[in-house]
Amino acid sequence: MFYRPLTTFRATQKGSSLIEVLVAMVVMSFGLLAMAATMVYAIQMPKLAAYRAMASNLAEMHVERIRANRVGFLNGSYDDNLSYDGTLNAVSLNDCTYPNCTASTLAVMDKAFIKNAMRRELPAGGMRLSCDTTPCNANSVYGNLWVIWQEPSMASSLNSASSDNCPAEVASFNNPRPRCLYLRFKL
């Protein structure tokens, strides 16, 4: 039998362990980068879900105010052009006090209240409301409400096509494209 000397074996193995360590570190760094990106989304998703839940609650609250003031809705006081402008500006709140409160002034107060709540709770929040018949009249039984807001820039990498139910007025906003929640309601 022929045995190789121990010194020759060590000489052939001298640099390969360092290369293996470097390759392992590169592979591990790619894995850690992927895990970090996943963590960013995992932290962001609950906040985005909270915005959707808040938009849903605000839409429901506004529809209940409309149902409480049916006359104001039917005379067109709630029918509103787009109030979303992508800013956080507050809306002045009109006070409707007894005995000077009418269906129209109550509608103005309700709209200002909900717009302020949307801008306070949602980033650059706003809304659009319309009837099936324009303008609203006694034949209007159905309404359409859009709650619109901008999500943080970190969410811009998410697919914004999932919120393609925005009204036509905001479809052209692309920097960043707003999110929309649509609610169809019946009086």
Question: For the chain, which residues make up each domain, given as ranges?
Answer: 15-186
More confident residue, 103 or 1: 103
Nearest to 150 by CA among 90, 100, 73, 87: 87
Question: What average pLDDT does this structure show over 164-170?
Answer: 72
- Pairing relation of β-strands 142-149 and 126-131? antiparallel
Identify the three-state secondary structure at position 133: coil
Model pLDDT, residue 167:
77
Model pLDDT, residue 27:
94
Instruction: Say how far apart CA 77 and CA 129 lie, in whole Å.
Output: 11
pLDDT digits (tens, 9 = 90+) for 45-69: 888 888 889 999 999 999 999 889 8
Instruction: Say how far apart CA 135 and CA 132 lie, in whole Å.
Output: 8
Model pLDDT, residue 35:
92
Do the Cβ atoms of 61 and 110 come closer than 8 Å?
no
Model pLDDT, residue 161:
53
Do the Cβ atoms of 182 and 146 come closer than 8 Å?
yes
In the block, tokens 């709650």 appear at 147
pLDDT digits (tens, 9 = 90+) for 129-145: 877 766 666 677 788 88
Alpha helices (runs of H) in 69-177, residue ranges in sequence order: 70-74, 103-121
More confident residue, 146 or 83: 146
Model pLDDT, residue 117:
85
Which of 22-26, 28-32, 39-43 is predicted with the least confidence, judged by mean pLDDT?
A: 39-43
pTM (two decimals): 0.70
